[in-house]
Amino acid sequence: MIDLPYSLIIETTENPERYGFHSPDLDGFAGVGFSIDDCIYRARWGMREHIEQVLQQGLTAPPANHDPIITIRNPKRAEAA
Protein backbone atom coordinates (compact mmCIF):
# COMPACT_ATOMS: atom_id res chain seq x y z
CA MET A 1 0.00 0.00 0.00
CA ILE A 2 1.23 3.48 -0.87
CA ASP A 3 0.68 5.73 2.13
CA LEU A 4 0.52 8.98 0.16
CA PRO A 5 -2.52 11.11 -0.68
CA TYR A 6 -1.15 11.95 -4.15
CA SER A 7 1.05 10.35 -6.79
CA LEU A 8 4.78 10.99 -6.60
CA ILE A 9 7.54 11.17 -9.20
CA ILE A 10 11.11 10.69 -7.98
CA GLU A 11 14.00 11.50 -10.31
CA THR A 12 17.74 11.18 -10.14
CA THR A 13 19.82 14.35 -10.17
CA GLU A 14 23.34 15.14 -11.28
CA ASN A 15 24.38 14.69 -7.65
CA PRO A 16 24.38 10.92 -6.97
CA GLU A 17 23.49 11.61 -3.32
CA ARG A 18 20.29 13.55 -4.13
CA TYR A 19 16.93 12.75 -5.68
CA GLY A 20 14.30 15.28 -6.68
CA PHE A 21 10.58 14.65 -6.29
CA HIS A 22 7.27 16.25 -7.17
CA SER A 23 3.62 15.34 -7.48
CA PRO A 24 1.74 15.57 -10.77
CA ASP A 25 -1.45 15.81 -8.67
CA LEU A 26 -0.34 18.73 -6.50
CA ASP A 27 0.69 21.99 -8.19
CA GLY A 28 3.75 23.64 -6.70
CA PHE A 29 4.82 20.67 -4.61
CA ALA A 30 8.44 19.54 -4.94
CA GLY A 31 11.40 18.57 -2.81
CA VAL A 32 14.76 16.85 -2.53
CA GLY A 33 15.79 13.72 -0.64
CA PHE A 34 18.91 11.67 0.00
CA SER A 35 17.40 8.36 -1.12
CA ILE A 36 14.20 7.02 -2.61
CA ASP A 37 12.92 6.11 0.86
CA ASP A 38 13.84 9.58 2.13
CA CYS A 39 11.92 11.16 -0.76
CA ILE A 40 8.82 9.14 0.08
CA TYR A 41 9.11 10.05 3.77
CA ARG A 42 9.62 13.75 3.00
CA ALA A 43 6.79 13.72 0.46
CA ARG A 44 4.37 12.14 2.93
CA TRP A 45 4.88 14.97 5.44
CA GLY A 46 5.45 17.67 2.84
CA MET A 47 2.16 16.95 1.08
CA ARG A 48 0.29 17.41 4.35
CA GLU A 49 2.04 20.71 5.03
CA HIS A 50 1.48 21.86 1.44
CA ILE A 51 -2.26 21.17 1.68
CA GLU A 52 -2.46 23.00 5.02
CA GLN A 53 -0.83 26.05 3.43
CA VAL A 54 -3.16 25.92 0.44
CA LEU A 55 -6.19 25.81 2.74
CA GLN A 56 -4.82 28.64 4.95
CA GLN A 57 -4.60 30.79 1.82
CA GLY A 58 -8.29 30.18 1.22
CA LEU A 59 -7.64 28.05 -1.85
CA THR A 60 -9.18 24.69 -2.66
CA ALA A 61 -6.99 21.62 -2.25
CA PRO A 62 -7.20 18.99 -4.97
CA PRO A 63 -8.98 15.79 -3.97
CA ALA A 64 -6.74 12.96 -2.79
CA ASN A 65 -5.78 10.42 -5.41
CA HIS A 66 -7.36 7.12 -4.37
CA ASP A 67 -4.93 5.19 -6.55
CA PRO A 68 -1.59 7.02 -6.15
CA ILE A 69 1.46 5.84 -8.07
CA ILE A 70 5.13 6.29 -7.23
CA THR A 71 7.26 6.62 -10.37
CA ILE A 72 11.05 6.49 -10.21
CA ARG A 73 12.82 7.93 -13.24
CA ASN A 74 16.36 8.41 -14.40
CA PRO A 75 15.90 11.21 -16.93
CA LYS A 76 19.60 11.67 -17.71
CA ARG A 77 19.93 8.02 -18.74
CA ALA A 78 16.74 8.24 -20.81
CA GLU A 79 18.11 11.27 -22.69
CA ALA A 80 21.37 9.45 -23.49
CA ALA A 81 19.57 6.50 -25.08
Q: What is the mean pLDDT of each run of 10 residues along the chain (81 residues)?
A: 92 94 96 97 97 96 95 73 50
Domains identified in the chain and CATH numbers: 8-80 (3.30.160.250)
Closest CA to 1 of 32, 47, 40: 40
Distance between first and last Cα of the chain: 32
pTM: 0.87
